[in-house]
Amino acid sequence: PLYEVAVVIEKVYLVKIQFENENIKNLKLTANYNNQSLENVLNIISRTFDLSYKIENDRVKLFEGI
């Protein structure tokens, strides 16, 4: 699930991921993002699930809709 991927992203990029709702947290995702910037990883996730994201300091918010 995406929430498990978020835990890894938080540790690797030193950010906190926030989800707009529970549906987003439970989206199924298996991926490997070696040597990618945070923005690249978020862009791939966003395009995969038609999500948007907003980065503010060390927080990333994922929400539905583009």
Render pLDDT for 27-64 as a digit per residue (tens, 0 to 9): 998 888 888 999 999 999 999 999 999 999 999 999 99
- At 33 the pLDDT is 84
* Contact (Cβ atoms closer than 8 angstroms) between residue 33 and residue 39: no
Residue 66 has pLDDT above 80, yes or no: no
- At 44 the pLDDT is 93
What is the pairing mode between strands 59-64 and 51-56? antiparallel
Mean pLDDT (whole number) for 21-29: 92
